[in-house]
C-alpha cells in the first residue's frame, strides 16, 4: 500500500499539483439470497484498486486503476493531472479547500465474529429456516437475503494524511408476499428493500432475529388481504422508525447536501429548497425536531472513522430545536460558504471520486412512550415499513406509502388497514411533529443504496429514528 501511495503522490507532485490524495481499497463481498425454500443466488466478489484525485491549475482531476504496477501508478497519476489541467481551461474560479486537521491513524472495526469465517451453509440454513416459517397458505413468494462486506482502505494526501481504515458490514432481511387472487400484499422484516445493515460482524445476524419474526410477517401479509383500506383525509399519524428513517433521508438528508444546494447536482439528483439564505433563519420543524449528521454513531453504516478527504468523523446539527442550522459539506463547498468542513465526502469505491454524501442522519429521540403517542390521537393511523416514496427535485412535496397500518381511534390502536399513504410539504410536515418516541424505540437503520452523482455512485448511509407523531397530515388520496 505504502509503495503505491508514495509513487502516486510523488508523480502528482512532479507535475505541479497544489493538492493530491490517493485511496487504495481492497474489498471482499458476499451475497446470499433464498426464494421459496431454495437458494436463489450466491455471489462472492472482491475488488482492489486505487484512485488519485488532484488539483492542478485550480481544477480537479481524477483517475483510477486496478493494475497496481509502478508504470500504471505513474500513468494514472499523470492522467489525473492532465484531466485537471484540461478542466482548468473551462473553470469559472479556482478550487480552494478549507483547512483541516491532518491525521495519521489506523482504525480497525470492532467486530465480534468475522462474517467471512462463518460457513456459507450456516448462513443459508438460517435463511431457509426463516423461509419455512413463512410458508403459510396464501403466501406465494418468500424471500431471504444476507450480505457481508469487508474492506481495508488506505488514504493519503499531499498534506501528510495517512489513514488505514477497516470497514465490515453485515445485513439480513426477509419478506413474504401474499395473494388471494384479487389483491397482493407484502410484509418485510426488519425493514423493506433488503432488511437492515450495520457495521458489525456475524453477531448482527443473531441480533436481527429473523426466525422470531418470520411467521408474524407472513401472517400479517395474509391478514392485509382482507384488511380494510386505509382511510383518507386530514388526520394525525404515527410513523414507525424505519419509515421515519426514509422520511429523514428524503426530506432532510438530501436537501442539506451542499453540492445539491449549490446546483452541482441539478441535472441529475436535483436541487434543494434549503438555500444558503435560510441557514440559521428557517423554521424547518417544530421545536422538538433535532436532526444530526453523526458519522461517529456506533455501528451505523453511514458512519466511519474518517471521510474520504481525511476529516475525522464528526457529529453536527442539521436541524436544532426546529431551526435549519447545518449542511453536509466538503472542503471545497465549506470554503465557498465559509463553513466548518464537517466530513461528508465519500466515494463508492476506488474508481470514483468522492462527492458529498449523507453520513448517519439521525432524528434525536424524544421523551414519549409509544402508548403516550397513541393516546394523544383521536383519529389517525400508525404506519410501518416503507413500500413506496416520491419527492420532488427541491425536496418539498412528498408522498410515501407503507406496507401496513393500524387505525387509531380515541387514543387506542384499532384495526389493521392496507395500503396506507401520506403526503405533505417537508417543512409543514416537520413543523407538525408534536411527539417523538424515547430512546427505547430508537434504532439506526442502514440504507445501503442511496444513488447520486454522474456516474452514479451507490452509497451506504443510515438514519436513526424512534416513533414520530405528526398532526394534521394528508392521509390517502387527496379529495
Q: Is 344 in the site for Zn ion (CB under 5 A)?
A: no
Q: Considering the complex, what minimum distance in angstroms separates the CB of residue 244 from Zn ion?
A: 15
The sign of the dihedral angle between the CA atoms of 93, 98, 102, 106 is negative
Segment near Zn ion (CB under 5 A), from 89-97, 260-268, 430-438, 442-450?
Answer: 442-450
Select 26 or 250, whichever has its Cβ closest to Zn ion: 250
Q: How far, in Å, are 39, 144, 218, 434 from residue 140 at the CA level?
A: 16, 14, 10, 40
How buried is 112 (Cβ within 10 angstroms: 0-12 exposed, 13-18 middle, 19+ buried)?
exposed
Q: Considering the complex, what minimum distance in angstroms separates the CB of residue 363 from Zn ion?
A: 16
Under 8 Å between Cβ of 278 and 424: no
Q: Considering the complex, what minimum distance in angstroms separates the CB of residue 327 from Zn ion?
A: 16
Can you give the length of the chain in residues? 479
Q: Considering the complex, what minimum distance in angstroms separates the CB of residue 35 from Zn ion?
A: 27
DSSP 326-365: --B--HHHHHHTT------EE-SSTTS--EE---BEEEPP
Select 155 or 445, whichever has its Cβ closest to Zn ion: 445
Phi first, then psi: what are they for 135, rounded to 5°?
-80, 75
Measure the CA–CA gap between 303 and 177, rounded to whole angstroms. Answer: 33
Segment near Zn ion (CB under 5 A), from 102-110, 157-165, 259-267, 444-452?
Answer: 444-452
* Order of all β-strands in the sheet with 323-324: 323-324, 315-320, 291-294, 361-363
Select 256 or 474, whichever has its Cβ closest to Zn ion: 256
Select 8 or 248, whichever has its Cβ closest to Zn ion: 248
Q: Is 450 in the site for Zn ion (CB under 5 A)?
A: yes
Select 433 or 450, whichever has its Cβ closest to Zn ion: 450
Q: Is 345 in the site for Zn ion (CB under 5 A)?
A: no
**Footprint on residues 234-273 left by Zn ion (CB under 5 A):** none
Segment near Zn ion (CB under 5 A), from 157-165, 180-188, 193-201, 446-454?
Answer: 446-454
Measure the CA–CA gap between 388 and 373, rounded to whole angstroms. Answer: 24
Q: Considering the complex, what minimum distance in angstroms separates the CB of residue 254 from Zn ion?
A: 6
Measure the CA–CA gap between 276 and 289, rounded to whole angstroms. Answer: 20
Under 8 Å between Cβ of 463 and 303: no
Residue whose grid cell is 428493500: 193
Select 249 or 471, whichever has its Cβ closest to Zn ion: 249
Q: Considering the complex, what minimum distance in angstroms separates the CB of residue 147 from Zn ion?
A: 18
Q: How far, in Å, are 39, 118, 167, 270 from residue 461 at the CA level?
A: 28, 26, 14, 19
Select 55 or 450, whichever has its Cβ closest to Zn ion: 450
Under 8 Å between Cβ of 446 and 361: no
Residue nearest to Zn ion (CB): 450
Q: Considering the complex, what minimum distance in angstroms separates the CB of residue 328 from Zn ion?
A: 12
Q: Considering the complex, what minimum distance in angstroms separates the CB of residue 248 from Zn ion?
A: 11
Select 255 or 366, whichever has its Cβ closest to Zn ion: 255
Cα-Cα-Cα-Cα torsion 191, 362, 208, 143, nearest 10 degrees, comes to 20
Q: Considering the complex, what minimum distance in angstroms separates the CB of residue 145 from Zn ion?
A: 20
Interface with Zn ion: number of residues (CB under 5 A): 1
Select 255 or 343, whichever has its Cβ closest to Zn ion: 255
**Footprint on residues 272-301 left by Zn ion (CB under 5 A):** none
Select 381 or 450, whichever has its Cβ closest to Zn ion: 450
Select 200 or 452, whichever has its Cβ closest to Zn ion: 452
| Residue span 143-182 as binding mask against Zn ion, x where in contact by CB under 5 A, dash where not | ----------------------------------------
Segment near Zn ion (CB under 5 A), from 124-132, 137-145, 304-312, 447-455?
Answer: 447-455
Q: Considering the complex, what minimum distance in angstroms separates the CB of residue 250 from Zn ion?
A: 7
**Footprint on residues 389-428 left by Zn ion (CB under 5 A):** none
Segment near Zn ion (CB under 5 A), from 199-207, 210-218, 230-238, 443-451?
Answer: 443-451
Q: Considering the complex, what minimum distance in angstroms separates the CB of residue 257 from Zn ion?
A: 9
The sign of the dihedral angle between the CA atoms of 274, 279, 282, 286 is positive
Q: Considering the complex, what minimum distance in angstroms separates the CB of residue 297 from Zn ion?
A: 18
Under 8 Å between Cβ of 474 and 423: yes
DSSP 220-255: HHHHHHHSEEPP-EEEEEEE-HHHHHHHHIIIIIGG
Helices 2-14 and 70-88: crossing angle in degrees, nearest 10, is 40
Select 161 or 391, whichever has its Cβ closest to Zn ion: 391
Give the number of other CB atoms < 10 A from CB of residue 448.
19
Binding site for Zn ion (CB under 5 A): 450
Amino acid at each position: 500500500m505504502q509503495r503505491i501511495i508514495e509513487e502516486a503522490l510523488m508523480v502528482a507532485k512532479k507535475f505541479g499539483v497544489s493538492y493530491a490524495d490517493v485511496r487504495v481499497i481492497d474489498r471482499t463481498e458476499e451475497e446470499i439470497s433464498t426464494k421459496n425454500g431454495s437458494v436463489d443466488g450466491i455471489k462472492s466478489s472482491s475488488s482492489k484498486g486505487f484512485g488519485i484525485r488532484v488539483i492542478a491549475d485550480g481544477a480537479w482531476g481524477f483517475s483510477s486503476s486496478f493494475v497496481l504496477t509502478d508504470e500504471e501508478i505513474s500513468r494514472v497519476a499523470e492522467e489525473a493531472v492532465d484531466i485537471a489541467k484540461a478542466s482548468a481551461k473551462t473553470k469559472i474560479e479556482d478550487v480552494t479547500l478549507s483547512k483541516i486537521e491532518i491525521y495519521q491513524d489506523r482504525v480497525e472495526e470492532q467486530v465480534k465474529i468475522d462474517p467471512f469465517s462463518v460457513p456459507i451453509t450456516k448462513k443459508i440454513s438460517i435463511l431457509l429456516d426463516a423461509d419455512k416459517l413463512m410458508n403459510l397458505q396464501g403466501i406465494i413468494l418468500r424471500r431471504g437475503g444476507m450480505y457481508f462486506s469487508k474492506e481495508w482502505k488506505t488514504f493519503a494526501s499531499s498534506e501528510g494524511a495517512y489513514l488505514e481504515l477497516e470497514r465490515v458490514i453485515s445485513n439480513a432481511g426477509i419478506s413474504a408476499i401474499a395473494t388471494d387472487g384479487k389483491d397482493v400484499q407484502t410484509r418485510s422484516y426488519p425493514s423493506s428493500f433488503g432488511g437492515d445493515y450495520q457495521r458489525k460482524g456475524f453477531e448482527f445476524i443473531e441480533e436481527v432475529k429473523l426466525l422470531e419474526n418470520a411467521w408474524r410477517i407472513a401472517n400479517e401479509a395474509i391478514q392485509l388481504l382482507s384488511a380494510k383500506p386505509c382511510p383518507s383525509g386530514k388526520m394525525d399519524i404515527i410513523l414507525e422508525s424505519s419509515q421515519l428513517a426514509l422520511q429523514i433521508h428524503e426530506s432532510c438528508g438530501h436537501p442539506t447536501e451542499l453540492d445539491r444546494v449549490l446546483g452541482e447536482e441539478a441535472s441529475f439528483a436535483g436541487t434543494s429548497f434549503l438555500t444558503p439564505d435560510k441557514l440559521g433563519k428557517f423554521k424547518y420543524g417544530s421545536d422538538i425536531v433535532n436532526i444530526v449528521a453523526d458519522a461517529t454513531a456506533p455501528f451505523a453504516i453511514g458512519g466511519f472513522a474518517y471521510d474520504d478527504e481525511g476529516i475525522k468523523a464528526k457529529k453536527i446539527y442539521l436541524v436544532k430545536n426546529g431551526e435549519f442550522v447545518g449542511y453536509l459539506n466538503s472542503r471545497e463547498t465549506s470554503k465557498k460558504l465559509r463553513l466548518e468542513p464537517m466530513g461528508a465526502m465519500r466515494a463508492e469505491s476506488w474508481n470514483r471520486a468522492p462527492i458529498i454524501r449523507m453520513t448517519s442522519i439521525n432524528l434525536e429521540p424524544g421523551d414519549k412512550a409509544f402508548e403516550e403517542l397513541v393516546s394523544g390521537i383521536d383519529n389517525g393511523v400508525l404506519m410501518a415499513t416503507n413500500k413506496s416514496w416520491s419527492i420532488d427535485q427541491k425536496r418539498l412535496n412528498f408522498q410515501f406509502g407503507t406496507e401496513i397500518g393500524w387505525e387509531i381511534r380515541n387514543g387506542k390502536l384499532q384495526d389493521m388497514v392496507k395500503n396506507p399513504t401520506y403526503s405533505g410539504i417537508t417543512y409543514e410536515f416537520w413543523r407538525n411533529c408534536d411527539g417523538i418516541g424515547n430512546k427505547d424505540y430508537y434504532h439506526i437503520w442502514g440504507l445501503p443504496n442511496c444513488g447520486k452523482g454522474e456516474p452514479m455512485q451507490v452509497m451506504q448511509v443510515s438514519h436513526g429514528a424512534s416513533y414520530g407523531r405528526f398532526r394534521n397530515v394528508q392521509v390517502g388520496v387527496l379529495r
